[in-house]
Amino acid sequence: MNNVIKIAVDAMGGDGSPKKVIDGIIHHYQNNKNSFYKIFGNREEIEILIPKNINKNAFEIIHTTEIVEGTDTPLGAAKRGKNTSMWLAIDSVKNKETDVVISAGNTGALLVIAKLNLKMIDNIDKPALSALWPNKKGMSVVLDLGANIECSEKNLFDFGCMGSSLFKSLFDKDKPRVALLNIGLEENKGNEILKKTFSLFKESNLESFDFKGFIEGNHIMDGNIDVIVTDGFTGNVALKTAEGTANFITGELKKTMTGNLLGKLSTILNFYNLKKFKKRLDPRLYNGAIFIGLDSPVIKSHGGTDYIGFSNSLSVCNKIIKGNLIEKIRNNIN
Amino acid sequence: MNNVIKIAVDAMGGDGSPKKVIDGIIHHYQNNKNSFYKIFGNREEIEILIPKNINKNAFEIIHTTEIVEGTDTPLGAAKRGKNTSMWLAIDSVKNKETDVVISAGNTGALLVIAKLNLKMIDNIDKPALSALWPNKKGMSVVLDLGANIECSEKNLFDFGCMGSSLFKSLFDKDKPRVALLNIGLEENKGNEILKKTFSLFKESNLESFDFKGFIEGNHIMDGNIDVIVTDGFTGNVALKTAEGTANFITGELKKTMTGNLLGKLSTILNFYNLKKFKKRLDPRLYNGAIFIGLDSPVIKSHGGTDYIGFSNSLSVCNKIIKGNLIEKIRNNIN
C-alpha cells in the first residue's frame, strides 16, 4: 500500500459544495484506485453523497461544521479558522497524515492559512501560484498567478526553478524551456527587475532547465516555452485577460453557429468536430492551480468548476506526488 | 475647405510599404473626400502607386529617401533621423501644416521622435499609447499599452482623463465609464499606486466621466467599461495575451472546421455566418493605436497590417480630429 496517494480534501469550499467535491472524488476514485481521500467537512452532508456500493476503505471523513466563507478576508479566515475544514485539511498535510491538500474554497484564505502552517522549502523566499495553460502543442506552466504582487529578481528566479520542477513532475520532460514574460524580446526591454532576473538566469546556467530569455504575451500559447515566469500581478492580469478573450470569442462563435437556420444546420452537421473543439478549450481540463514553495503541495481548484473539473484537480494532486514535485524543487533550488 | 482634415502620412514604415500605405490612402480617400494627405517618402516609389484617374489635389508628396528602419533603436532613429519620412511627417504636424500624423513604422522611434518634437499638453506628465479593444457591446479604449513601463498615480489618473476624452471624440458619449485594471475588485486589492489612483479618481469626482473602480482582465470584453486604465507594462502584456489567445482559438477552430470532410461541408453551408464571425474579429478593424498627451495626435498603424487596416487607421485620424480630441483632453485635464 506504499503507492497509495493520500489526499486531504476540504469538502466545503467553492460553489455547490460539498456535493461537487464528493462527486468529483467518486469520479476520480473510479479511475484512480490507488488514492486515499481524507475528507474534511460536515459528516452528515458528506456521508449521504457517497454511494453505498463503494469501497469505504478509500475514504475517511473528519467532521467539522466550521467553514471558511468565500467572503472572508484571508486574515479574518486565518484568525477564526482553526476548526474550519480548510485549516484542518492543511493541518493534516502538515502532520504528514496526507501527501497533498486540495480546496475549491477562498483562494486568499487558502494561501494565507497554508503559509501560516506549512514550512517554506529551504532557500525559497516566496511561494507562488502556478497553473497549466493550454498551447498549440500541449500545455505550459505559468507562475506566479497572483500570490505575490511584487517580486524581486530572486523571487522570479525561484519561480523559474520551481516551475520547471513542476513541469518535470507533470510531463516527464528533462529540460523544460523557461522564459520571462516581458513586453519585448531584447535584453534591454522591461523594468529593472526583469533585466536583473534575465542576468540571474543567464549567469546561473543551470543544467535542470533551458533558459530562453523573454517571451511576449502573444507567444504564450505557441507551445515553444514550457514554463512562463512572471510576477503575480502581471500573471493574474494575463490569465484573466486570456479567459475573457476566450469567453468573448466562443460567445461570438456561438451566436454565429446558432443565430439562424443555416448556422444551426451546419452546427448539427459538424457536431462531432465542434465537440472536439469544445473539449480542447474546456477550462475543466486545466483546473487546479498549484501553490508551490511550501514543503507540501497545496492545490486550489476553481470555485466555480463542477465535479469533472474537481476530479481533474485531484488528478493534478496524483501526478505531482507521483512526480516527486517537492523533491524536484529541493534539488533544483540547491 | 475648412472642414478638410490634413493628415501627415509617413509612407515608408511597416511591412510592404510604401505600397500598403498608398493603397490604404487611396481606399480611404474613396470613402472620405474631405481628407488631404501630405505623404512623406520616396517620390519615385510613391507616384507610380497613385492611380492616374484620381484627383491629385488631395495629395502632396514630400520627397525623402531616408527612412527609419524597423531595427533602429528609438534613440538611434532620433539621432540620425531629421530627414527621415517619419521625422518630416511629425515636423509637419508640429508646424501646423497638418492636423494629425500617422506611421506604420518603428513604434519606439515614433514615440521618441514625437516626444522630442511635439509639446506636451499642459498638466500632462506622460503621453500614453491607447487603442480600441473590441467587446461584447462594441469597443472600449485601453491605455497605456506600452509607452510608460512605470506609472505614478498622477500618470494613471491623467490616462483616465485622456482616455475618456478619446472615447468621447470617437463615439460621441457624454460620460464614459472609466475603470482601473487590477487583480481584484475590492479597494484594498493591488499595489500601492493602484490604491492611490483609486482614491485620486474618487476624490476628483469629475463630471466628465464616470469612475467605476477596478476591473479584472476577464471583464475587459464584457462591454460595461468604456475606458480601461493601466500602466504600459501591464497593458502591453494584456493586449498581446488577448491577441495570442484569439489566434490560438481561431487556429483550433480552423482545424475543427476544415479537418475532415464533414467539417468542410458544414463550413461551406455556414459560409455566410462564418464570414460575419471572421469580420467581427478582424484585427484590421481595430488597427490604429493613438499616442495621446502631446499637442497633436500621433497615430501608429500596426506594421503588419494591410491596406485595409491602414485605411482604418486613417479613419481613426479623421474621427479624432472631427471629435476635437486635443481640445477635449485640455478641457478634461484643466
Check B273 against A262: CB less than 8 A apart.
yes
Q: Are B233 and A265 within 8 A, CB to CB?
A: no
Contact of A242 with chain B, judged by CB distance below 8 Å, is answered with yes
The answer to whether A157 and A208 have CB atoms below 8 angstroms apart is no
Strand runs (DSSP E) across A144-265, as ranges? 177-181, 210-215, 227-229
Interface touch A265/B269, C-beta < 8 Å: yes
Does A245 lie at the interface with B, CB-CB under 8 angstroms? Answer: yes
DSSP B266: H
What does the pLDDT look like over A101-159, one tens digit per residue?
999 999 999 999 999 999 999 999 999 999 999 999 999 999 999 999 999 999 999 99
Q: Residue A135 and residue B248: Cβ atoms within 8 Å?
A: yes
CA distance A156 to A178: 11
Closest by Cβ to A244, choosing from B218, B230, B236? B218
pLDDT of residue A1: 41
Residues in B touching A260 (Cβ below 8 Å)? 273
Closest CA to B110 of B290, B323, B232, B304: B290
Q: Which residues of A touch B281 (CB under 8 A)?
A: 249, 252
- Under the banding of pLDDT at 50, 70 and 90, the label for residue A265 is low
On whether any CB of chain B is under 8 Å from the CB of A195, the answer is: no
Question: Taking a C-beta distance cutoff of 8 angstroms, is the pair B46, B61 a contact?
Answer: yes
SS3 content of chain A, % helix, strand, coil (to 5): 50, 20, 35
Contact A259 B246 (CB under 8 A): no
A262/B270 Cβ within 8 A = yes
Å from A269 to nearest chain B CA? 6
How many interchain CB pairs under 8 A, A with B? 175
DSSP codes joined into one string, B116-181: HHSPBPTT--S-EEEEEEEETTEEEEEE-SSS-SS--HHHHHHHHHHHHHHHHHHH--SS-EEEEE
pTM summary value? 0.90
Higher-confidence residue of B281 and A22: namely: A22
The most distant pair of C-alpha atoms in chain A lies apart, rounded to whole Å, by: 63
Cα separation values, A108 from A78, A283, A290, Å: 10, 21, 13
Hey, which residues 20-49 in chain B have their CB within 8 Å of chain A?
none
CA-based nearest distance B141→chain A, Å: 15
Strands annotated E in A167-326: 177-181, 210-215, 227-229, 289-292, 298-300
Cell of A124: 525559497
B265/A contact by beta carbon, under 8 A: yes
**Which residues does chain B have within 8 Å of residue A233's beta carbon, measured at their own beta carbons?**
183, 190-191, 234
pLDDT tens digits in sequence order for chain B, 334 residues long: 458 999 999 999 999 999 999 999 999 999 888 899 999 999 999 999 999 888 888 999 999 999 999 999 889 998 877 999 999 999 999 999 999 999 999 999 999 999 999 999 999 999 999 999 999 999 999 999 999 999 999 999 999 999 999 999 999 888 999 999 999 888 888 999 999 999 999 998 788 899 999 999 999 999 999 999 999 999 999 999 999 998 888 888 777 767 676 666 666 666 666 677 677 677 787 788 999 999 999 999 999 899 999 999 999 999 999 999 999 999 888 7
Nearest chain A residue to B147 by CA: give it.
A183
Task: Among A221, A243, A258, A275, pick the best mutation site for testing chain B contact (most B Cβ within 10 A).
Answer: A221
Contact: B217, A234; criterion CB under 8 Å: no
> What strand order describes the sheet that includes B177-181?
B59-63, B35-41, B5-10, B100-103, B298-300, B289-292, B128-135, B138-143, B227-229, B177-181, B210-215
Instruction: Summarize the confidence of residues A62-83 as an average pLDDT.
Output: 91
